[in-house]
Structure 1
Amino acid sequence: MIDVEKTPYAALLLRVTCGVLFVLHGAYLKFFVFTMAGTTKFFASLGLPEWLAWTVMLYETIGGIALILGIYTRWVALFFAVHLLVITFFVHIGNGWVFSNKGGGYEFPLFWAIVCIALAMMGGGAASAVRAETPGFAR
């Protein structure tokens, strides 16, 4: 049974937590810890163009802020879910399950993708700033 009184606050907690994690992963980790020089070299080692590192850093940071504020939560969470599933199956799957494996396993990005899918299904919950007005995908 779903507690309809507390569910909006559970969605708020999930939304803000995911948003903070994306900001930390995008801005803090890629820009300040690994530096953009290191991040672009990592992307190049995967056979990806170096400019994509900047793009990913920007949309993880901007999308994370959008989640924190509750701006189009369902759409942002759906975008991140697809992003994480692509990363899971094209970057981490060959490294095994455990994320502490060399190169990072796929347990963390897969779990995070599932959390984003749940958030996209649930909506932003309490204190959302902007809600999607698409029929069937509102709030």
Structure 2
Amino acid sequence: MTELLNSFGFGSTQAIDIASLLLRVSLGGLFLAHAWLKVFVFTPKGAAGFFQSLGLPGFFAYLTIAAEVVGGVALIIGLWTSLAALLLIPVIAGAGWFAHRQNGFWFNNTNGGWEYPAFWSLALLVQALLGGGALVVSGL
């Protein structure tokens, strides 16, 4: 089986670069989607109120929106990918800890558990370790 996969290029440097590109664009797109949700559905003021209901300062919502937009774009275009991924880990880990931890593990629990933010945090760490892969604006 390994020989078959190798014959199609799996495990090659080129395949790893493409895999990193796909992961990078997916992660970046998810961050932009979450920022869009906070801006256009919940509104920044509503997001700030939600953060306050969690015991966090309301202005953290605005910082989170900015981090999601800047970090999402950086990942999509491949600008300092490893650094961007590492800097986004506290953002999504914070969501898991403050917004989802009390809901249990499974994300299909009411108000979502911490399963998804935990996986997302791990995917960001993998991205940081892999680097940008193919079609990056800047290395790192």
TM class, shorter-length: 0.7 to 0.9
The question of 1:47 aligning with 2:48 is answered no
Deviates more, 1:97-106 or 1:39-48: 97-106
* Poorly superposed stretches of 4+, deviation over 6 Å: none
Across the aligned residues of Structure 1 and Structure 2, the Cα RMSD in angstroms comes to 1.4
Partner of 2:21: 12
Matched residue type, 2:33 = L
Gaps of 5+ in 2: 3-10
Q: CA offset at residue 86 of structure 1? A: 3.1
Partner of 1:79: 87
- Structure that is richer in helix per residue: 2
Alpha-carbon distance in structure 2 between the residues aligned to 1:81 and 1:55: 14
The structure whose Rg is larger is: 2
Aligned length: 131
Q: After the TM superposition, which residues 39-118 of structure 1 pair with which residues of structure 2 at under 5 Å, given as runs?
A: 39-118=47-126
SS at match of 1:83: helix
Q: Percent identity?
A: 40
CA deviation string 1:62-108 (max 9, x = no partner): 11001011000000101112322233234322210121322320011
Matched residue type, 1:64 = G
Q: CA offset at residue 31 of structure 1? A: 0.4
Alpha-carbon distance in structure 2 between the residues aligned to 1:65 and 1:47: 29
Matched residue type, 1:94 = Q
